[in-house]
């Protein structure tokens, strides 16, 4: 390796890490491999060698990015009210893949202002471009503060983890907790197509442990059936395979990890995995049928008619850069038309 430059093999190792932090719970020497991998990515970008080409669509600070291509929002003009007392910030994955669920959740929350066309910026940090992350994240925080809200409701665990400590000007609430306060508990067993369920703890839960209990209270309130714990849950949680932007650069590794996670649920006696992270749900899509475990977003428990096909949503994500869309969208990314 040349002085001041990181070898390609070293960079690829760093970009194979999902950054979930599980290794830190197992290391007898308290070494934070996650921090090492994060720093390696940052160094790779700062040296001008990174990020990986496959991560270009994750520049969510640009008008044309993966999520704006997914939902066609790159052409939309972003305008914001001068004041909004309650703001619902759904995050790019929920609005990109499931705008209908985003709208239904907003209705159940009492119709707060929905800041739907913005991202917290975490994808930028995940690919190692911390400078652009800080600039973008700061811009979003300024936008939020200017509207003078008393409460900001976050449905995405990644957005929650990104904003929780940064927002000092308003109450920060996880959407599941807000829904527990506004939606009456269901009577009886509720949906009959789920069998025994298990909660998938997504990666941000490790740094925000209050989400462990909030998520389980939500499921127990709105689903009357049996719930079990996976072997690797709570503090021992493991990634769905999409973390650290691995799903963009190494699909095979990402899907192997998803398969392993769903098998954990199956071995624990679960028929259905309940996730509060829509990105996790999408990444589980291709292997859920193979393993024999259904995947549902927690908010679907409130909507008996709602039954997402995460396998189809995963295929939709791949269609953004395949077939007739491939060249057109690559050009749009490059020139930002």
Please state the domain extents for the chain: 73-182, 197-319
For the domain made up of 73-182, give the CATH fold.
Rossmann fold (3.40.50)
Same fold yes or no, 73-182 and 197-319: yes
In the predicted model, what is the mean pLDDT of residues 189-209? 89
Q: Is the peptide bond before 307 cis (omega within 30 degrees of 0)?
A: no
| Closest by Cα among 218, 182, 219 to 108 | 182
Tell me the C-alpha to C-alpha distance, in Å, between residue 55 and each of 125, 133, 246, 333.
11, 14, 9, 11
The pLDDT of residue 327: 80
The pLDDT of residue 180: 95
What does the alpha-carbon distance between residue 238 and residue 230 come to, in Å, rounded to a whole number? 10
Cα 1–chain centre separation? 35
Query: How confident is the model over 97-146, as pLDDT tens digits?
Result: 999 999 999 999 999 999 998 999 999 999 999 999 999 999 999 999 99
CATH code of the domain occupying 197-319: 3.40.50
The pLDDT of residue 150: 97
What does the alpha-carbon distance between residue 89 and residue 19 come to, in Å, rounded to a whole number? 24
The pLDDT of residue 2: 47
pLDDT at 313 over 70: yes
| 174 strand-pairing partners | 154
pLDDT at 308 over 50: yes
Q: Global pTM?
A: 0.90
The answer to which of 134-143, 217-226, 316-325 has the lowest mean pLDDT is: 316-325
pLDDT at 94 over 50: yes
Q: The sheet that has 113-114: what strands, in order across it?
A: 113-114, 86-89, 151-154, 171-174
Q: The sheet that has 272-275: what strands, in order across it?
A: 227-228, 197-200, 272-275, 294-297
């Amino acid at each position: 390796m040349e002085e001041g430059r990181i070898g390609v093999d070293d960079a690829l190792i760093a970009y194979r890490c999902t950054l979930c932090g599980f290794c830190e719970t197992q290391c007898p020497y308290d070494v934070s491999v996650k921090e090492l991998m994060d720093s390696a990515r940052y160094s790779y970008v700062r040296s001008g060698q990174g990020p990986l080409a496959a991560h270009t669509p994750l520049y969510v600070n640009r008008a044309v990015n993966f999520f704006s291509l997914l939902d066609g929002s790159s052409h939309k003009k972003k305008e914001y009210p001068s004041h909004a007392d309650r703001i619902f910030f759904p995050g790019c994955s929920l609005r990109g893949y499931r705008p209908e669920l985003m709208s239904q959740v907003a209705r159940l929350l009492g119709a707060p202002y929905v800041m739907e066309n913005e991202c917290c910026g975490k994808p930028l940090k995940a690919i190692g471009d911390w400078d652009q992350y800080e600039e973008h994240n700061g811009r979003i925080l300024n936008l939020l503060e200017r509207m003078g809200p008393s409460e900001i409701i976050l449905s995405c665990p990644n957005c929650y983890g990104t904003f929780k400590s940064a927002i000092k000007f308003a109450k920060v609430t996880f959407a599941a907790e807000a829904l527990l306060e506004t939606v009456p508990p269901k009577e009886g067993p509720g949906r009959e197509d789920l069998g025994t369920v298990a909660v998938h703890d997504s990666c941000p839960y490790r740094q925000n442990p209050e989400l462990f209990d909030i998520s389980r209270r939500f499921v127990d309130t709105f689903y009357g059936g049996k719930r079990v714990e996976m072997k690797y849950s709570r503090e021992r949680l493991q990634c769905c395979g999409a973390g650290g932007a691995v799903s963009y650069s190494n699909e095979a590794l990402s899907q192997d990890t998803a398969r392993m996670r769903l098998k954990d649920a199956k071995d624990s006696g679960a028929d259905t995995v309940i996730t509060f992270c829509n990105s996790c749900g999408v990444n589980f899509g291709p292997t859920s049928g193979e393993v024999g475990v259904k995947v549902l977003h927690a908010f679907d428990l409130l909507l008996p008619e709602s039954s997402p096909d995460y396998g189809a949503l995963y295929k939709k994500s791949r269609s953004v850069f395949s077939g007739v869309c491939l060249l057109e969208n690559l050009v749009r990314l490059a020139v930002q038309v």
